[in-house]
Amino acid sequence: MQANDNRAPSVMGFHFPTPRPGFRPERLIGLARERIAEMRLDLRGRTILTEAATGVYVVTPIIAALAGAHRVFAVARDSRHGSTSEAVAWLHDVAERAGVADTISIVDAVPHAFLDQVDIVTNSGHLRPINDAIIDALPPHAVVALMFEAWERRSGDIDYAACERRSLPVVGVNERHETIDVFSYLGPLAIRLLHDAGIPVYRSRIALVCDNEFNTSLLTGLIGQGAHVTQARSVRDLPPKPYEAVLLALRPADNHARLDEEDARRLAAVAPCAIVAQFWGDVDREAVAAAGLQIWPPTAPAAGHMAILLSEIGPDPVVRLQAGGLKAAQVVLDDAEREEPGLAQIL
């Protein structure tokens, strides 16, 4: 296909609906190239194990290949976002347009026969859980790329004990580093969540319940949009006011909801007319409904996951995050932390 073809992609028997203009393959590839150049991402000679995903997350293997990787294994699986066949067709299309199709091997399962050649494993959905069978087969210099900040890690994603036993580093990425700057998109993302719920944000009375590093970025975004914001670290600390919305951004716990039955009753008492906007942090939705409150979005996210994807506001933050995760892994592989201070976070 020509790089400037404006038709909806049609490959391998699939006809995809025309994406929003900001998500067209040509723009995804352009953003990937920009990030590689700005970050000096260099994966020459490396072998990467990642996923073949639908939507904007197709960029992960594309970035790796464009950054010079020797080989990229991309695992395709069915998910709630699309089928294996759709992911394969989409990655094939974008890779062809980017000129890296020969570098990427799309597989339907973790390629155990080649794990001893892998330098970087990304903590991507189609690879999780990254168990001891995978970790034990990796070469001794391999790195597991967390693909988000170290403090956000989820215990079920990776067998951390196996990594420690083998002395394989698990590497987070500083999303606030000046070359990555993903946290700056959290405010616009929260605003999108509230807009979708029917809250204009401007002049709205919003309670921000946040107990983690997201707080400053969320607060800046809400105030910048003209909201009247009351902050609290928990529902129990929230003073009663006529809030239009309560934005929850609570660090998940391993074995219980961050907004439980008692919290729901408390919230109904201090903010009886407010919409509960679940940004992050697991919620007992039955308890929220029983307390007479409404929650948005209507579908619960997977445990420990954000309820709205970065891609809702465009591909740019996702490309930055995925490129940043690979860069953090490169920094550790190359022992280049002095050249890139503060970017990689080794668990």
DSSP character at residue 108:
S
Tokens of 175: 């999303």
Q: How confident is the model at residue 14 (pLDDT cuts 50, 70, 90)?
A: low
CA distance 124 to 5: 30
Q: What's the pLDDT tens digit per position in 164-219? A: 999 999 999 999 999 999 999 999 999 999 999 999 999 999 999 999 999 999 99
pLDDT of 5 higher than 50: no
Q: What is the pLDDT of residue 82?
A: 85
Residues in a beta bridge with 48: 72, 120
Q: How confident is the model at residue 16 (pLDDT cuts 50, 70, 90)?
A: low
- 280: three-class secondary structure by DSSP: strand
Q: What is the CATH number of domain 184-309?
A: 3.40.50.720
Per-residue pLDDT, averaged over 88-108, amounts to 97
State the residue for tokens 């290949």: 65
Tokens of 324: 């940043």
Q: What is the pLDDT of residue 76?
A: 96
13: Cα within 13 Å, side-chain hemisphere:
4
Q: How confident is the model at residue 19 (pLDDT cuts 50, 70, 90)?
A: confident
Q: How confident is the model at residue 44 (pLDDT cuts 50, 70, 90)?
A: very high
Q: What is the pLDDT of residue 184?
A: 97
Kind of pairing between the strands at 344-346 and 170-173: antiparallel
pLDDT of 11 higher than 60: no
pLDDT of 1 higher than 50: no
Q: Do domains 10-168+315-346 and 184-309 have the same CATH topology?
A: yes
Per-residue pLDDT, averaged over 117-141, amounts to 97
pLDDT of 272 higher than 80: yes
Percent of the chain with pLDDT over 90: 90
Per-residue pLDDT, averaged over 283-302, amounts to 96
**Residues 181, 224, 251, 50, CA torsion sign:** negative
pLDDT of 88 higher than 80: yes
Per-residue pLDDT, averaged over 89-105, amounts to 97
Per-residue pLDDT, averaged over 71-91, amounts to 93
Q: Are 227 and 204 in contact (CB under 8 A)?
A: yes
Q: What is the CATH number of domain 10-168+315-346?
A: 3.40.50.720
The domain locations on the chain are: 10-168+315-346, 184-309
Q: Is the peptide bond before 297 cis (omega within 30 degrees of 0)?
A: yes
Cβ contacts of residue 130 below 8 Å, gap of 6+?
Answer: 121, 123, 144, 157, 158, 159
Tokens of 343: 């970017």
